[in-house]
Structure 1
Amino acid sequence: MFSFKNVYVRFIQSHGMARHFRSLAIWDAFRREAQPHEMSDQLSQRLVAAAHTAPESLLASLGTQLSGLSAERANLIRREVGPNEVGHEKPMPWWLHLWHCYRNPFNLLLTLLAAVSYATNDLRAAVVIGAMVLLSTVMRFVQETRSNKAADELKAMVSNKATVMRRDLAEEAAAEAREFFEIQLHTKPAHQEEVPIRELVPGDIVVLSAGDMIPADLRVLSAKDLFVSQAAMTGESLPVEKFALPRQPSNNALELENLLFMGTNVVSGAGLAVVLETGGRTFFGALAQRVTATDRAPTAFQTGVNRVSWLLIRFMVVMSPLVLLLNGFTKGDWVEAALFALSIAVGLTPEMLPMIVTSTLAKGAVVLSRKRVIVKRLDAIQNFGAMNVLCTDKTGTLTQDKIFLERHTDIHGNKSEEVLSLAYLNSHYQTGLKNLLDVAVLEHAEVHRSLDIAANYKKVDEIPFDFQRRRMSVVVSERDDHHELICKGALEEVLAVCTRIREDGQDMPLTPERLADIKQRTAALNEQGLRVVAVAMKEEPPHRQAYSVADESNMTLMGYVAFLDPPKESTEPALTALKAHGIEVKILTGDNELVTAKICREVGLEQRGVVLGSQIEAMSDSELSEIAVKYNVFAKLSPAQKERIVRSLKAAGNVVGFMGDGINDAPALRAADIGISVDSAVDIAKEAADIILLEKSLMVLEEGVIEGRRTFANMLKYIKMTASSNFGNVFSVLIASAFLPFLPMLPLQLLVQNLLYDISQVAIPFDNVDAELLTQPQRWNPDDIGRFMVWFGPVSSLFDIATYLLMWFVFSANTPEHQTLFQSGWFVEGLLSQTLIVHMIRTRKIPFLQSRAAWPLLGMTLAVMAMGVFMVMGPFSHYFKLQALPPVFFVYLAGILMAYIALTQAMKSFYAKRYGWQ
């Protein structure tokens, strides 16, 4: 019944890749439906052929070279093949969008009623109902158009990029000259350039490193320990190593080791690849076409909205026939009774729900963007407001996103230029993902040295970093008589491959006594808040050109580089604000426990014990669930352990947010209820996130949480108002139908009243929210909506019945001849009480005095109330089959409305004490 498709599905589909399939169950279902043998024959044949073609021939067939394409050539190809976008729903023409806005069950029901009215010569009713359909359709069309535009603008603010080789026009001309005239021209070398993924074209040469998304279907040209996670394609849980040439022949493209597929990601290593297919012509694109034709699985929020909607529809299905039978048997006019029953059905359907929810979410997303928070999935706003546990890394969140190299020492803590030189060479020559530690080493060395020591060396090979080894190595050569393997990484992991230490220029055995001394010295550095990275090396004969992890053995520990990661000034007040808003912060870091504890003390985060990754590894899921809730600092974690902690917290009933920006954070980001990343994060982290912060700050996050809660609170207001008001109307109509000799309100009048009531709530997305509703996480609880409806619906019925009695006994509107007076009285009272309920239910406080609605909502409700009174008292009342009421009626009406406000307020206090307000 309800779908956010027009608002965010195309937003996500044009923006994301693997993120389409955050729900593994959905993705697995599609993957099962599209096994490799079901791939397009042409696509499969092209990919397999490309995998077995010699690289030189393949590049020639694609019109490219190892130095890449020029920007001009890439633009020409893009105009021919289109942008590199998958599952992108082209914007519908305005007329088709208008049709989609019209064709919902509610508008079809109204159209049927208008047709019946026209057929029975009730032209006024037909005109009013037609206006109702037109207004509902146009309002939804306008709101969704604005929402789509807002989503597109937000999407443009966050884009993943790929590193490609680019050459200028001179190089392009030289290539053509070499091809046709076989001459050599001197040209400028190609350079690397980052371009948005959507701008890639076949023939582009892509440079890959750890953390990159695979942006298209690629053929590997060169690879160094290139491991790719392609679980989304094949279901393999472990990363797969890729090579430049296939190791085993196969006709199954997914099994070929030199093909990479859009939607997968690089776990470790580096490589160079050429783009074969882009956009919808990729294997991922073939699967995504199935997804674009199928709605995503509903989220918890959507499911809850659907439950409320179907609850009201069930009421409609039961009550409308009951009203038809009661009025048909008691009044004898079955045609009129049928029209009235249809009107009741329309009144009970939440026809404005899609528009209200859509516009509220879109408005919330736009406001969040002004606070430097970009919402990738609109319905994630609900989880943002409901979040009660925030898991975050330490670096760049609690601390400054700038690390300084504080010390470079030998194993005894003495300053060592040799250790700095080795660390510099390691950071300079690695081609993988350079982290903040590498940047700090390079910047420190550049400031303190006039000559680049790397100029004396040439690179031989490298052994990329991975999160199991927690170290990386480069092999360099200064002279032709030997190679130097330089290793840099976490202390324990580097010590594990060392058998010697460098002491006073001599290599000495790593004895247990020396090992204990090393751990004592590094622990002292950790306690000062310094992150310690060990540096080791060994010399190798100059005969080899390829090295592997197995060569990281029998090394000599040279010393340490220690980094200072100072806390942000804003961290302590941000943590205080998050705690005040009911959010518990837990630190999940791969860093040392001593450094983590020091930073936590500096920022005022109360520690309830520190749990290490090695301890978590030995725990069962039930044990971890208990520990995850009890403790708030977890150190030396692997990516899988971060994910386990997040899942354990979710299993304990928490709404968990995870904030991270590294490749090691991607599993936890996907596992969390709401993944939060930053614009400077690696591609896979941004892809996995629901929320993107344009500034890596907990203070920005806290502002976003508050806005998320405000957005959710306003949506909940409408749902509560609609549910309780419609439920009350059911009772009122049933009682009136059973005892009155005429209809309590004509179908036309009931529809006009319902239309005016809907208009009064259009401004709800812009309403104020009471401060106390923003201090605690807000959960979506559809069962609470049902209880609220049962408690507050009958309250309005009491005063509807009071109005019946007033019109019957005081104004003698008790015969069919005086039914117009009766109907006019209930029309005004019903409209005013329904409009007042907006202000009563929008707050737990006393409305107008302790909590005042925003001016747009206040103005809209006043205008609707004035319009309702004017329709009865003005010169056009006879068009709606109404008549002017005696002035004294409004004196009685004021008393009824004041009593209604007082009873509702008393009911609110009782209900809130027993069940809570929200």
Structure 2
Amino acid sequence: MTLFKHLFASFLNSRHLARLFRRSELPLPTAQGAAKVLPNQLGLALGLAAREAQDALFERLTSGSNGLSQEAAQAVLERDGPNEMGHEKALGWHQRLWQCYRNPFNVLLTVLALVSWLTEDVKATIVIGTMVVLSTLLRFVQEGRSSRAAERLQALVSNTATVLRDGQSCELAIRELAAGDVVMLSAGDMIPADCRLLAAKDLFVSQAAMTGESLPVEKSAEAPSAAITDPFDMANLLFTGTNVISGSATAIVLSTGNRTCFGALADRVVSSERAPTAFQAGINSVSWLLIRFALVMAPLVFVVNGFTKGDWSDAFLFALSIAVGLTPEMLPMIVTSTLAKGAVLLARRKVVVKRLDAIQSFGAMTVLCTDKTGTLTQDEIVLERHADISGQESEDVLKFAFLNSHYQTGLKNLLDRAVLKHVEMLNKLNLAQDYRKIDEIPFDFVRRRMSVVVSEREDHHELICKGAVEEILSCCTAVRQGEQVLPLDDAMLARVTEHTRSLNAQGLRVVALAVKEVPPQKAEYSLADESDLTLIGYIAFLDPPKDSSAPALRALAAHGVTVKVLTGDNHLVTARVCRDVGLQVDGVILGPDLDALGDAALADVAERNTVFAKLSPLHKERLVSALRGKGHIVGFMGDGINDAPALRAADIGISVDSAVDIAKEAADIILLEKSLMVLEEGVLQGRRTFCNMLKYIRMTASSNFGNVFSVLVASVFLPFLPMLPVHLLVQNLLYDVSQIAIPFDNVDAELVAQPLDWNPRDIGRFMLFFGPLSSIFDIATFGLMWYIFGANAEAKQTLFQSGWFIVGLLTQTLIVHLIRTPKLPFVQSLASPALLAATLAIMALGIWLPMGPLAHAFKLQALPMAYFPWLLSILLAYAALTTLMKRVYRRKFGWQ
């Protein structure tokens, strides 16, 4: 046994057995933001196009104000190709079949089948070939189903665009757009390609998906100044994947497909070859461990039998069969089937698995990084308070807020909609009946405020200004408290500031309201009129937590998964939401504070703290990589283009079906519902998958080790082979068939309570611990057949081999139930009906083969009835000893 321990120690100390469940990460961007990962050539080309004279631009693109002609557009499409992004190319069926076949076990078995054929052992060739074909085809079918489900999820960012062709407006599929096309844009449209504006009116565009900016950006047709070098800061450029919030525009297409900024970012994700996942590395390390074991033991059996029996030809065939028996050829199929079953179950929970291996990472995940909006919260802003400056509820404040939101025609954001909805719910839409609109001063993101001017009963004009607290205060000289108007002095300013901070700390987003009475004769108003205002109060908004967030977080915590919030939002609001949903806030860190930290310091900060706010895209990626560097298995949930690098950097990337295309491309898991509850189910399913795969590996490894140990003992003392090669092959094939039901087996609840870490070293230890137990009863069977039933000469070797064939197969099959659970089998933990049926059928078939009409074909013979009471005794004793040793093993090493 000491020899075997040293042997395994050398196997297990391989450098390849690195920590599992890791994915190699992409190189980090060198600077912040999406713009910083654009190729220099693309950035320069966009800058030149933004400043180019309009006539020169039309001439270069062979276009004009009426757009391209159909002939010109067709010529451009033939030159540039369709306007679509390069996705990871799907493999053809023959390539997928090759991938399913190409694993160490199948290659080894193919070599063994070839050797069997060359030595004219037809039966062995057929049996080994059947194993390879069965394993490959089952995996091919299962992966094909999962692949087709993932393909159905892929969708373009937008389907059609309004285009001018030959001067006529028409709707075209986005893939049919060509450089030089003139497109018409309005609120709600996705930008279909990289464009330059020709004309724009009150145009606001959300670039959050590209740059991570939380607020929309105002765009205009004016050329940028020479000081602006970043394409994303150029007001006359529009980018694929962004969308129009408000206003309208006419723009000319500069570039399409992979030549766009979107395409450059997509190419960074798609073109980088995906390194083998840590799960794949782990499976491969275990595979090579078992193969190395077979490569040592098979020659040892060959030498022992050659010297003791003198027939080197038979010894070679027998050693060949031992090599096949030691190879867990069904491992790839069991792994794929188990993962595919998990994918099917998750699909029922609105989770689509793009890559089967990701299910395993779900089970191993220890840290989940997620955004706040839409995940912890409902992503639906509601008006929570309308109060005067002292915090008392005020109908006047609500009325003026409604008038401002109702009459403005510019950017109607979520806050405006929340005000209008709140008033509608209160059935107070008559608030505007005494007013008519005179003018408005539109919102912009420099002033961060907007004003409307209304006339009350044609008596006087009222300017109502709404915006960010600090911007409103900068225009105010007085405050209204009750019926009094008081000056806004330093003491009052401090009081107002403290009150708004208190509201922020409660998780509320605060907007201030100020008014000013102006003469009724004036008809037009400008920014200069936003002065000498009187602050009347605040409206405060809340993005309410989801009802499912708190129980989901409790469930994830109970299962050993730590949730960290990574957001670009306000830190006070984020911290309050976290507290509301029961997420313990162990420190709040702001994005700018991370810039000065080195990798080691960042890793410590990432591990200690829970909430990270005001983050840029690079901050998110650095935090994910830092957590992985500290040994955590990290899941990242994101849905924007700026999330794609972090999605790839994480061990498991999670996105939603409403995400931008590149985020879905980078993700491993797609959620059809943006909820943490489905993630909890994914974690549990991943752990069940892990447990079922581990069962097969443990069963096969320990059983095979015990069989080889028994063969070595028998080979030394017996004058004939303890079992013929065909017996070993048939026994192995029957055992493998019984394992097909393992993916459908039940898993004990306590085995999935915490993240699972799989170490090949533990498998070797398990093999050494439980393998020799079966050898004890194999040797007892040898004595039984030799002394009790007189099978002690070559003339009676068939009787001996038949007796051991049944014992070997039944103990192998029984071990499935004995070590599938740390509990008492059949009593405290029962296998699934499918596994029970499969193992019972194989045990019955194993007894029938020597006793039935096919016995002669397999060189077996019927056993006397007196054999079966002995068989039952051996099986009961084996079950009792294994159950006892399970307790010893569990106390000493644990079960997982």
- How would you bin the TM-score normalised by the shorter chain? 0.7 to 0.9
Q: 1:488 aligned to 2:467?
A: yes
Match of 1:890 among 842, 865, 868: 868
Determine the C-alpha separation between the residues in 2 that align with 1:279 and 1:113: 50
Deviations 1:384-441 (A, max 9, x none): 223344455555445444332133445444442575158638996338xx5x545423
Give the corresponding residue for 1:416: 397
Question: 3-state SS of the aligned residue for 1:745?
Answer: coil
Give the corresponding residue for 1:124: 123
Determine the C-alpha separation between the residues in 1 that align with 2:638 and 2:277: 23
Residues 38 and 87 (structure 1 numbering): CA distance in 2 closer, same or farther, change over 3 Å? Answer: farther
Match of 1:24 among 26, 33, 37: 26
Deviations 1:670-704 (A, max 9, x none): 66544545445566766665444333444333333
5 Å-filtered alignment, 1:626-705, equals 650-659=628-637, 672-680=650-658, 689-705=667-683
Q: Confirm or deny: 8 A CA contact 2:410 2:442 kept in the other structure.
A: no
The runs of 5 or more residues in structure 2 that have no matched partner are 1-22, 456-460
Deviation at 1:647, TM superposition (A): 5.6
Q: Confirm or deny: 8 A CA contact 1:124 1:879 kept in the other structure.
A: no
Give the corresponding residue for 1:845: 823
Match of 1:518 among 481, 492, 496: 496
Q: Once the two structures are aligned, what percentage of the paired residues are identical?
A: 54
Q: Confirm or deny: 8 A CA contact 1:83 1:279 kept in the other structure.
A: yes
Give the corresponding residue for 2:158: 162
Letter in 1 for 2:25: S
Residues 620 and 829 (structure 1 numbering): CA distance in 2 closer, same or farther, change over 3 Å? Answer: same
Residues 686 and 521 (structure 1 numbering): CA distance in 2 closer, same or farther, change over 3 Å? Answer: farther
Residues 554 and 38 (structure 1 numbering): CA distance in 2 closer, same or farther, change over 3 Å? Answer: same
Deviation at 1:759, TM superposition (A): 1.3
Give the corresponding residue for 2:444: 462
Q: Confirm or deny: 8 A CA contact 1:390 1:586 kept in the other structure.
A: yes
Q: Confirm or deny: 8 A CA contact 1:494 1:535 kept in the other structure.
A: no
Residues 288 and 370 (structure 1 numbering): CA distance in 2 closer, same or farther, change over 3 Å? Answer: same
Question: 3-state SS of the aligned residue for 2:511?
Answer: strand
Determine the C-alpha separation between the residues in 2 that align with 1:487 and 1:664: 31
Q: Confirm or deny: 8 A CA contact 2:508 2:540 kept in the other structure.
A: yes
Q: 1:817 aligned to 2:798?
A: no
Give the corresponding residue for 2:7: none
Match of 1:785 among 747, 755, 763: 763
Deviation at 1:330, TM superposition (A): 2.8
CA-atom RMSD in angstroms: 5.7
Determine the C-alpha separation between the residues in 1 that align with 2:685 and 2:68: 45
Give the corresponding residue for 1:151: 150
Letter in 1 for 2:779: I
Deviation at 1:768, TM superposition (A): 0.9
Letter in 1 for 2:800: F
Give the corresponding residue for 1:92: 92
Give the corresponding residue for 1:563: 541
Give the corresponding residue for 1:6: none
Determine the C-alpha separation between the residues in 2 that align with 1:623 and 1:38: 35
Deviation at 1:87, TM superposition (A): 3.5
Q: Confirm or deny: 8 A CA contact 2:136 2:333 kept in the other structure.
A: no
Letter in 1 for 2:880: A
Letter in 2 for 1:86: G
Match of 1:314 among 288, 292, 296: 292
Scaled by the length of structure 2, the TM-score of the pair is: 0.75
Letter in 2 for 1:613: L
Determine the C-alpha separation between the residues in 1 that align with 2:335 and 2:417: 45
Question: How many residues get paired?
Answer: 838
Determine the C-alpha separation between the residues in 2 that align with 1:266 and 1:784: 53
Letter in 1 for 2:788: V
Q: 1:803 aligned to 2:786?
A: no
Q: Confirm or deny: 8 A CA contact 1:460 1:545 kept in the other structure.
A: no
Letter in 1 for 2:401: L
Determine the C-alpha separation between the residues in 2 that align with 1:575 and 1:45: 47
Q: Which moved more, 1:754-763 or 1:288-297?
A: 288-297
Deviation at 1:126, TM superposition (A): 3.3
Q: Confirm or deny: 8 A CA contact 2:112 2:324 kept in the other structure.
A: no
Question: 3-state SS of the aligned residue for 1:162?
Answer: coil
Determine the C-alpha separation between the residues in 2 that align with 1:733 and 1:293: 51
5 Å-filtered alignment, 1:704-715, equals 704-715=682-693
Which protein has greater RCO, CA pairs closer than 8 Å, 6+ apart?
A: 2
Question: 3-state SS of the aligned residue for 1:582?
Answer: coil
Q: Confirm or deny: 8 A CA contact 1:301 1:780 kept in the other structure.
A: no
Deviation at 1:364, TM superposition (A): 0.9
Give the corresponding residue for 2:855: 877
Deviation at 1:767, TM superposition (A): 1.1
Determine the C-alpha separation between the residues in 1 that align with 2:698 and 2:623: 35
Deviation at 1:854, TM superposition (A): 0.9
Determine the C-alpha separation between the residues in 1 that align with 2:640 and 2:119: 68
5 Å-filtered alignment, 1:442-453, equals 442-444=420-422, 448-449=428-429
Determine the C-alpha separation between the residues in 1 that align with 2:673 and 2:738: 38
Deviation at 1:853, TM superposition (A): 1.0
Deviation at 1:312, TM superposition (A): 0.9
The runs of 5 or more residues in structure 1 that have no matched partner are 1-20, 180-186, 233-238, 465-470
Determine the C-alpha separation between the residues in 2 that align with 1:428 and 1:664: 31
Question: 3-state SS of the aligned residue for 1:879?
Answer: coil
Q: Confirm or deny: 8 A CA contact 2:464 2:513 kept in the other structure.
A: no
Give the corresponding residue for 1:12: none
Question: 3-state SS of the aligned residue for 1:429?
Answer: coil
Determine the C-alpha separation between the residues in 1 that align with 2:857 and 2:29: 57
Letter in 2 for 1:488: G
Residues 363 and 44 (structure 1 numbering): CA distance in 2 closer, same or farther, change over 3 Å? Answer: farther
Residues 538 and 54 (structure 1 numbering): CA distance in 2 closer, same or farther, change over 3 Å? Answer: farther
Q: 1:832 aligned to 2:806?
A: no
Deviations 1:617-658 (A, max 9, x none): 699677776676566566777777666665665555444445
Q: Which moved more, 1:308-317 or 1:607-616?
A: 607-616
Q: Confirm or deny: 8 A CA contact 1:426 1:486 kept in the other structure.
A: no
Scaled by the length of structure 1, the TM-score of the pair is: 0.74
Q: 1:375 aligned to 2:371?
A: no
Deviation at 1:311, TM superposition (A): 0.8
Residues 631 and 285 (structure 1 numbering): CA distance in 2 closer, same or farther, change over 3 Å? Answer: closer
Please identify the structure whose Cα radius of gyration is greater.
2
Determine the C-alpha separation between the residues in 2 that align with 1:723 and 1:225: 63
5 Å-filtered alignment, 1:230-245, equals none
Determine the C-alpha separation between the residues in 2 that align with 1:100 and 1:564: 51
Q: Confirm or deny: 8 A CA contact 1:85 1:198 kept in the other structure.
A: no
Determine the C-alpha separation between the residues in 2 that align with 1:713 and 1:118: 37
Determine the C-alpha separation between the residues in 2 that align with 1:53 and 1:752: 80
5 Å-filtered alignment, 1:216-231, equals none
Give the corresponding residue for 2:590: 613
Residues 282 and 828 (structure 1 numbering): CA distance in 2 closer, same or farther, change over 3 Å? Answer: farther
Determine the C-alpha separation between the residues in 1 that align with 2:892 and 2:348: 38
Q: Which moved more, 1:723-732 or 1:837-846?
A: 723-732
Determine the C-alpha separation between the residues in 2 that align with 1:100 and 1:704: 26
Q: 1:430 aligned to 2:411?
A: yes
Deviation at 1:851, TM superposition (A): 0.9
Residues 140 and 637 (structure 1 numbering): CA distance in 2 closer, same or farther, change over 3 Å? Answer: closer
Letter in 1 for 2:325: G
Letter in 1 for 2:89: E
Residues 907 and 535 (structure 1 numbering): CA distance in 2 closer, same or farther, change over 3 Å? Answer: farther
Deviations 1:269-318 (A, max 9, x none): 99986666666787987998999898621222222111111111211222
Residues 770 and 501 (structure 1 numbering): CA distance in 2 closer, same or farther, change over 3 Å? Answer: farther
Deviation at 1:136, TM superposition (A): 3.0
Residues 859 and 103 (structure 1 numbering): CA distance in 2 closer, same or farther, change over 3 Å? Answer: same
